[in-house]
Structure 1
Amino acid sequence: MASASVGFQCPECVKEGHRSVRQPKRFTSARIGFRALPVTLSLIGVNVLVWLSITLTGGAGSRIADFIAIRLQGYCRTPDGGFAVPEGVCRSSGYTWMPGVDDGAVWQLLTSTFTHVSIIHLAVNMLSLYMLGSFLEPIVGRLRFLVFYLISGLAGSALVVWAATPAGSTVGASGAIFGLLGVLVVLFVRAGQSLSPLLPVLLINAGITFFGNGISWQGHVGGFLGGLVVAWIFTQFRADRKAPLQWAALGGFTVLLLALVGVRMLMF
């Protein structure tokens, strides 16, 4: 989740996953059209529409981007940029106040996961989302895939709120995508499959996360950990008779993430 791309670019790994994980025959159609991947393609569509709205309203200087990117601390937007002052001072000076999560802009916890400014950032993230979605959506189901994406994004945002610079803005779907990568890891392990096809992807993305310029390691790590948790819940309560427990556990994890954000807001 930053102004740089997620880096997941390994079609061979996804293909290997298709070969090594037991799956119904209907999965073979997972890459052909909207009816096969409605959630994946819809998420891509939303990300593209948000990028278009930002591009058409000023790109990096768009007020839309400022409004939906995540930051803990609000800031005063001026023609020359912005600076951190109390909201009252900003408004009394005739400038625009852009709120942060601590000011009540809690929507940023999720809207930031659909926000991109750079077309390269968007393109690489959407390619990664498509490759992961083409494998995962048929396995976990449409609704669960959507929930996993959103909760992973929320987990990434929660760590951003706790560990990133309070006045810094973070954008991008990378936290949610790293969460889906975490889901894939858990499914491989639970199926007794070797992680060797995924190791190059994991190592490359670890390098990008911790050594890349302008990368939000908080969003990547938080999203990945969130994906591990939701996948563990999915595999622990997979039987139909355990579905209520699965949804209750996912709901409980979501509440925990929101509570962690709330605690950070109280501390700030």
Structure 2
Amino acid sequence: MEQAPGGPQEPRGPQGVPRLPDCYRHPGSETGISCTRCDRPICPQCMINASVGYQCPECVRSGSGTGHSASAQQPRTIAGGSLHGDPALVTKVLIGLNVAVFALVLSLGERFVSQLELIGYAFSPQLGEIVGVAHDQWYRLLTAVFLHQELSHILFNLLGLWFLGRMVEPALGRRRFLALYLLSGLGGSTLAYLVAEPNQPSLGASGAIFGLMGAFVVLARRVQLDMRPVVLILGVSLVLTFTRPDISWEGHIGGLVTGAVIAAGMVYAPRERRALVQSAVCGAVLLVMVVAVLARTSVLT
């Protein structure tokens, strides 16, 4: 194996077939990206956005090079978020909130559920009054996202949150991840409110979980991962959504689309105006939801 003039050795696979170099921090992870400062190959897990190209963690930590501001040398996620010691902190907090609400459901019973579940407009026998989003109870669009009644339901959703959250949160950063999760949950609730029967209650974190799934598809595409297993997982999830009984497909699809749109706005935003574009995308999605809920409310009332 010879070294090309003026550059590193060209790795070759079996029978001399050229292959991409391995990440210097993760042997076995091929990559076509190099640090703009030291020129070492870095995989998507290691690359940190810089004013031009990407940098490796060592160069960012050492602040090598001159003419860069302190903020430009801070490690950033692919979406521009800050890196932290615990990359899954928000995921753990969300799991804790879901478990805490589930404990309240077990202790307070059906009446507590009736006060928080998503319902469009109906008479509640438990509360003895008209309830619903159309009855000025907009909070139900969000509280239902943290509400579960069955142990199997919450276990399945929290397993998905733990699996997807540990991949999406480190890629976006804490604040962006939390915004995506909450807006995805609201997106699922909004579509359910628009399409489902107004007296049909629904609850659960599935819309937010599907939002993380949509975000993961966008992230995988952004860092050029093999999309086949990602598409397979998404396909199986959609088949289960439309074939299993008592599933709010509206919540799943609403969350999936919302999560994908927001994630695309976050990871494809231009670096120069990234925060502004990301905020605008989140604001636009929220505005669409508000308009849709107002329109549906005017029809029901």
Q: Which bracket does the TM-score occupy, shorter chain normalised? A: 0.7 to 0.9
Say whether residues 1:69 and 2:101 are aligned partners. no
Alpha-carbon contact 1:183-1:230 (below 8 Å) kept = yes
**2:37 alignment partner in structure 1:** none
**2:10 alignment partner in structure 1:** none
Q: Which runs of 5 or more residues in structure 1 are unaligned?
A: 1-18, 28-33, 79-94
Instruction: Give distance in 1, aligned partners of 2:86 and 2:231.
Output: 31
Q: CA RMSD in A?
A: 2.1
**1:11 alignment partner in structure 2:** none
Moved over 4 A (4+): none
User: SS at 2:229's partner residue?
Assistant: coil
Question: Which of 244, 250, 258 is the aligned partner of 2:282?
Answer: 250
User: SS at 2:125's partner residue?
Assistant: strand
Question: Which of 146, 157, 168 is the aligned partner of 2:189?
Answer: 157
Instruction: Give distance in 1, aligned partners of 2:167 and 2:140.
Output: 28
CA drift of 1:192 comes to: 2.5
Aligned AA for 2:122?
Answer: G
Work out which of the two has the higher radius of gyration on C-alpha atoms and give 1 or 2.
2
Instruction: Give distance in 1, aligned partners of 2:272 and 2:111.
Output: 46
Aligned residues with identical type, % of pairs: 34
Say whether residues 1:38 and 2:89 are aligned partners. yes
Aligned AA for 1:63?
Answer: R
User: SS at 1:124's partner residue?
Assistant: helix
Instruction: Give distance in 2, aligned partners of 1:238 and 1:112.
Output: 35
Instruction: Give distance in 2, aligned partners of 1:165 and 1:241.
Output: 42
Deviation string, structure 1 residues 191-221 (Cα, Å, up to 9, x no partner): 2322112133112211111010100000001
Alpha-carbon contact 1:66-1:98 (below 8 Å) kept = no
Instruction: Give distance in 1, aligned partners of 2:111 and 2:118.
Output: 13
Deviation string, structure 1 residues 173-206 (Cα, Å, up to 9, x no partner): 0000001000011111222322112133112211
Alpha-carbon contact 1:74-1:102 (below 8 Å) kept = no
Instruction: Give distance in 1, aligned partners of 2:269 and 2:231.
Output: 27
Alpha-carbon contact 1:39-1:142 (below 8 Å) kept = yes
**1:217 alignment partner in structure 2:** 249
TM-score relative to the length of structure 1: 0.79
Aligned AA for 1:72?
Answer: G
CA drift of 1:244 comes to: 1.5
CA drift of 1:245 comes to: 2.0
Aligned AA for 1:49?
Answer: A
Matches within 5 A, 1:96-115: 96-97=128-129, 99-115=131-147
Q: Judge which range, 141-150 or 242-251, deviates more.
A: 242-251
Aligned AA for 2:250?
Answer: Q
**1:85 alignment partner in structure 2:** none
- In the alignment of these two chains, the number of paired residues is 226
Instruction: Give distance in 2, aligned partners of 1:197 and 1:136.
Output: 16
**2:45 alignment partner in structure 1:** 23
Aligned AA for 1:23?
Answer: Q
Sort the Cα spacing of 1:23 and 1:238 in 2 relative to 1 into closer, same or farther, 3 A: farther
Alpha-carbon contact 1:74-1:101 (below 8 Å) kept = no
**2:165 alignment partner in structure 1:** 133
Aligned AA for 1:22?
Answer: P
Question: Which of 93, 99, 107 is the aligned partner of 1:48?
Answer: 99
Instruction: Give distance in 1, aligned partners of 2:271 and 2:45.
Output: 16
Alpha-carbon contact 1:37-1:133 (below 8 Å) kept = yes
Instruction: Give distance in 1, aligned partners of 2:186 and 2:170.
Output: 23
**1:81 alignment partner in structure 2:** none
Structure with bigger RCO (C-alpha 8 Å, 6+ apart): 1
CA drift of 1:98 comes to: 5.3
Instruction: Give distance in 1, aligned partners of 2:272 and 2:125.
Output: 51
Aligned AA for 1:259?
Answer: V
